[in-house]
Chains A and B, each alone.
Chain A
């Protein structure tokens, strides 16, 4: 029974990881409808940013890297949007192939620049402890990821709902033509949306260096989970993503506890498939006239 309870914080912390990797996608995929297979590689770019900053910031690199990774991954995303994706708006299948190709290119680039073996990112010493919650261990590193995920959600929520630019972003997603008629620069809004979405992937990448490998294939380990969260939560829905990530985290945690890791994956996928049969639009739905 003790270990049953101790799976609870684990489920929450898995949920926080899922939420963090999916947040960026709620912008690029959720809001804009771009199936961005290179999202995982923006996560990887964030992780390598933390690695590179170690020379300069030492063991505090993970903290310093958060804003830097946001800028770098965001810039990568912006370049991708300007050079390629904007020519494919409204053609989801072509975008899928295009961004998948880009993801392969970015993986190989990382291999050429940093080498194929994993690299080491040293966690700050103040993240090395743990607290006991419900009879289980909750490492500070996991707590940090939870706090970061909450902070990101709060920041995004405030931006979308309280800032003028955030409202313009929502306006473009909900009705592009009307927004354009009202004087919103839709192309520039697209660029900004893509920048923020990609930048959030970079932030997730920095956090993941605390718990996982840092190597060229890092992005491929998380991309599917990120899409699962966004699809289950409902496209473009922040609260949908939050609830879906939490639910999937719990499901993962208990499914693996009662069975094993391989079977847990099967169970999660099965549940999502059944759920999407019943509710193809995801948890929450917003009527939009997005780019499609």
Chain B
């Protein structure tokens, strides 16, 4: 969901993609996708070049690692997996084209890919039209549940709502200031936050958006300083976070005790660029950290760092890794790579993964996830300080929250 650039591009993608399908005609759909040979093909579709490459390459790495792990233990249904890696090039129409190519030409059994909401929205019609499967690994703004997408990242009730609950219930913060980048994810997130605040006796003292790539935060910092909130909820994305935290720090407002700044888009990878001195002690909300306790995670981190020296493991990487393992398990259970059978087998499926026990909710194809609030440590890693008692049931449309009525219309 980070850095989604122009949404108008999405419209541009629908047309060529639709034409492609039309030209291709209705193929005689084979019994099960993935190829009839000795291997089962799966697609890995991330931006390996362009502005999103920095984030997405790490997810590609964790997904291909999962594929190799599965092959090392004998593959799926007695066949090895064969990864077909494609580059979405940080360009949303390219994502749609490459998805079409993976489904039609390579006949992959499933595609693991995407990061920004814009890329997911661009690929969605392609997967729905071809009745193929996409596994999407990044937390996002919710309010979506396509029957042909499995969402292994958090939806809002597994990240943003717990982040708010932590601030109010654990820390007693009642007056919030909202800061975000000016596009769909922060605006949707803040709509949810405002509805929550209204129902829970919290006050929203300010709501400010800055353009993507904005670097001048002194006025915004001054506004925060004048409003005197108990806490700031930060949905800024990308480089703006660096400028925001540096300028907050130099204005003397970076005191996590007095006024914590809760962020939902800063993971281990981003902390380095912001400068740990500017952000140490601030809370973040995710579902997984490199430091998450458990034998499965220890193995995951060790295996990943053996391949990529000095690398950190982050939430989206883990969600991508999970997606591959969950799909493989579903295929085993279904005894086939047929999309309808895999979907049926995936419902209710559960696996022990680095973040803990992960269960697929068949009704919306999201996964149960434990919400974790972490605090950024002086060494740049994130330490968990609070976690939900159990994995939270995904609720992308927030239907089980009375205060959210009317948000998802």
The 4 closest A-B pairs by CB, nearest first: A118-B273, A213-B242, A139-B250, A116-B54
**Chain B residues, Cβ within 8 Å of A122:** 275, 277
**Chain B residues, Cβ within 8 Å of A210:** 246, 250
**Nearest chain-A residue to B252 (Cβ)?**
A130
With beta carbons under 8 angstroms apart, the residue of B182, B214, B243, B251 that contacts A130 is: B251
Kindly provide the distance from the CB of B280 to the nearest chain A CB, expressed in whole angstroms.
Answer: 12
With beta carbons under 8 angstroms apart, the residue of B222, B250, B275 that contacts A7 is: B222
**Once the chains bind, are A10 and B218 in contact (CB under 8 Å)?**
yes
**Chain B residues, Cβ within 8 Å of A6:** 222, 226
Asked, given contacts A3-B226, A217-B213, whether A137 binds B251 with beta carbons under 8 Å apart, the answer is yes
With beta carbons under 8 angstroms apart, the residue of A136, A213, A220 that contacts B273 is: A213
**Chain A residues, Cβ within 8 Å of B209:** 260-262
**Chain B residues, Cβ within 8 Å of A128:** 249-250
With beta carbons under 8 angstroms apart, the residue of A2, A130, A218 that contacts B250 is: A130
With beta carbons under 8 angstroms apart, the residue of A117, A140, A212 that contacts B272 is: A117
The 0/1 profile, CB within 8 Å of B marked 1, for residues 201-234 of chain A is: 0000000001111110110111000000000000
Find residues 236-289 in chain B having any chain A CB closer than 8 Å to their own CB. 239-240, 242-243, 246-247, 249-252, 269-270, 272-277
**Chain A residues, Cβ within 8 Å of B249:** 128
Asked, given contacts A10-B218, A212-B243, whether A217 binds B51 with beta carbons under 8 Å apart, the answer is yes
Number of A residues, CB within 8 Å of B: 45
Query: Could you say which of A175-183, A188-196, A249-257 contacts chain B?
Result: A249-257
C-alpha gap A116/B269 in the complex (Å): 11
Q: Does B202 contact A (CB under 8 A)?
A: no
C-alpha gap A257/B219 in the complex (Å): 6
Name 13 A/B residue pairs within 8 A (Cβ), A-sorted.
A2-B226, A116-B53, A119-B272, A128-B250, A139-B247, A139-B251, A141-B250, A210-B246, A211-B243, A213-B240, A213-B243, A221-B213, A253-B219
**Chain A residues, Cβ within 8 Å of B172:** none
The 0/1 profile, CB within 8 Å of A marked 1, for residues 180-212 of chain B is: 001000000000000000000000000011110
**Nearest chain-A residue to B182 (Cβ)?**
A262
**Chain A residues, Cβ within 8 Å of B340:** none
C-alpha gap A118/B215 in the complex (Å): 13
**Nearest chain-A residue to B219 (Cβ)?**
A256
**Once the chains bind, are A261 and B274 in contact (CB under 8 Å)?**
no
**Once the chains bind, are B273 and A120 in contact (CB under 8 Å)?**
yes
The 0/1 profile, CB within 8 Å of B marked 1, for residues 43-82 of chain A is: 0000000000000000000000000000000000000000
Q: Does B171 contact A (CB under 8 A)?
A: no
**Nearest chain-B residue to A2 (Cβ)?**
B226
C-alpha gap A217/B252 in the complex (Å): 27
**Once the chains bind, are A14 and B243 in contact (CB under 8 Å)?**
no
**Once the chains bind, are B247 and A3 in contact (CB under 8 Å)?**
no
With beta carbons under 8 angstroms apart, the residue of A13, A117, A262 that contacts B218 is: A13
**Once the chains bind, are B239 and A217 in contact (CB under 8 Å)?**
yes
**Once the chains bind, are B243 and A261 in contact (CB under 8 Å)?**
no
C-alpha gap A155/B276 in the complex (Å): 36
Asked, given contacts A220-B213, A252-B216, A261-B208, whether A136 binds B222 with beta carbons under 8 Å apart, the answer is yes
Q: Does B161 contact A (CB under 8 A)?
A: no
Q: Does A239 contact B (CB under 8 A)?
A: no
Number of B residues, CB within 8 Å of A: 37
**Chain A residues, Cβ within 8 Å of B210:** 260-262
Q: Does A17 contact B (CB under 8 A)?
A: yes
Q: Does B220 contact A (CB under 8 A)?
A: yes
Q: Does B302 contact A (CB under 8 A)?
A: no
**Once the chains bind, are B239 and A213 in contact (CB under 8 Å)?**
yes
Q: Does B131 contact A (CB under 8 A)?
A: no
Q: Does B223 contact A (CB under 8 A)?
A: yes
**Once the chains bind, are B215 and A120 in contact (CB under 8 Å)?**
no
C-alpha gap A119/B209 in the complex (Å): 25
**Once the chains bind, are B218 and A142 in contact (CB under 8 Å)?**
yes
**Once the chains bind, are B250 and A117 in contact (CB under 8 Å)?**
no
Q: Does A289 contact B (CB under 8 A)?
A: no
**Nearest chain-A residue to B216 (Cβ)?**
A14
The 0/1 profile, CB within 8 Å of A marked 1, for residues 51-82 of chain B is: 10110000000000000000000000000000
Q: Does A265 contact B (CB under 8 A)?
A: yes
C-alpha gap A258/B263 in the complex (Å): 26
**Nearest chain-B residue to A118 (Cβ)?**
B273
**Nearest chain-A residue to B245 (Cβ)?**
A213
Kindly provide the distance from the CB of B209 to the nearest chain A CB, expressed in whole angstroms.
Answer: 6
| New contact pairs (4) apart from A253-B219, A257-B222, A261-B220, CB-CB < 8 Å | A118-B242, A136-B222, A257-B223, A262-B210
Q: Does B225 contact A (CB under 8 A)?
A: yes
C-alpha gap A121/B242 in the complex (Å): 11
Kindly provide the distance from the CB of B89 to the nearest chain A CB, expressed in whole angstroms.
Answer: 14
Kindly provide the distance from the CB of B120 to the nearest chain A CB, expressed in whole angstroms.
Answer: 22
Kindly provide the distance from the CB of A263 to the nearest chain B CB, expressed in whole angstroms.
Answer: 10
**Once the chains bind, are A142 and B274 in contact (CB under 8 Å)?**
no
**Nearest chain-A residue to B213 (Cβ)?**
A221
**Chain A residues, Cβ within 8 Å of B53:** 116
Kindly provide the distance from the CB of A188 to the nearest chain B CB, expressed in whole angstroms.
Answer: 37
**Chain A residues, Cβ within 8 Å of B51:** 217
C-alpha gap A214/B243 in the complex (Å): 9
Kindly provide the distance from the CB of A242 to the nearest chain B CB, expressed in whole angstroms.
Answer: 19
**Chain A residues, Cβ within 8 Å of B226:** 2-3, 6
The 0/1 profile, CB within 8 Å of A marked 1, for residues 120-144 of chain B is: 0000000000000000000000000
**Once the chains bind, are B269 and A117 in contact (CB under 8 Å)?**
yes
C-alpha gap A141/B272 in the complex (Å): 21
Kindly provide the distance from the CB of B214 to the nearest chain A CB, expressed in whole angstroms.
Answer: 6
C-alpha gap A123/B274 in the complex (Å): 12
**Once the chains bind, are A118 and B272 in contact (CB under 8 Å)?**
yes
Asked, given contacts A118-B273, A256-B220, A261-B220, whether A140 binds B250 with beta carbons under 8 Å apart, the answer is yes
With beta carbons under 8 angstroms apart, the residue of A10, A17, A141, A211 that contacts B219 is: A10
**Chain B residues, Cβ within 8 Å of A119:** 272-273
